[in-house]
Amino acid sequence: MTNKTKKNPSFEIHSIGFVHSDEQQGCYEIKLYPRFITGLEKLEAFSHVIIFWWADQHDNPGDRSILTIQLPYAEGIRAGVFACRSEYRPNPIAMTVMPILNIDKENGIVTLPWIDAFNGSPVLDLKPYIPSSDRVRDFRVAEWMKAWPEWMEDAGAFFAENEVNFGN
């Protein structure tokens, strides 16, 4: 029986590294384990990286069973976990897109301006941000997010000026 025909297949995932974040020092990095460092070759040719990480602090049966949540940034709106970026998920896989500030290929460190993962969160994969694959021209967002900026570069100023509760 192949994975395509199984009713509930399971998979084995291995961390390639971890998040190192020290908000007091303003330090945000992805640190790769030595055997994965050569995978960074040519990543410096890209401006942004897509980081897949494991929300390990929510990897428990209770949090994995939560399928709807009250959105902390949209009062009165309850949504399914597949309609938001909540860390509560059947599989606590998270994704963050960030600009690359620096890559230290010798030590396997990717420096970021920020990341929404906890210090020590396992990193599952890194992929380059490629506009023709990762950006769409015609899109729709939920009504409760219509006032949010369209571009990442505008988000910092928007959220600094507009109080939005992300549940932190």
In a domain, residue 8? The reply is no
Calculate the average pLDDT of the chain: 92
What is the mean pLDDT of the segment spanning 111-134? 96
Indicate whether 21 belongs to any domain.
yes
Residue 5 has what pLDDT?
Answer: 67
Let me know if residue 149 belongs to a domain. yes
In a domain, 156, yes or no: yes
Confidence bin at 2 (pLDDT 50/70/90): low
Q: In the prediction, which pLDDT does 73 show? A: 86
User: How many domains does the chain fold into?
Assistant: 1
Instruction: Please determine, for residue 99, whether its predicted confidence score (pLDDT) is greater than 70.
Output: yes
Give mean pLDDT, residues 9-27. Answer: 93
Start-to-end Cα distance in the chain:
43
Task: Output the pLDDT for position 113.
Answer: 95
Q: Is residue 80 part of a domain?
A: yes
Output DSSP code: residue 47: S
135 belongs to a structural domain: no
What's the predicted TM-score (pTM) here?
0.88
Range of the domain at 102: 17-129+142-161
State the CATH number of the domain containing residue 48: 2.40.30.70
**Tokens matching residue 161:** 């000026």
> Does any domain span residue 12?
no
Whether 141 shows a pLDDT value over 70: the answer reads yes
Residue 7 lies in a domain: no
Q: How far is 101 from 126, CA to CA, in rounded Å? A: 15
CB hemisphere CA count around 56 (13 angstroms) = 14
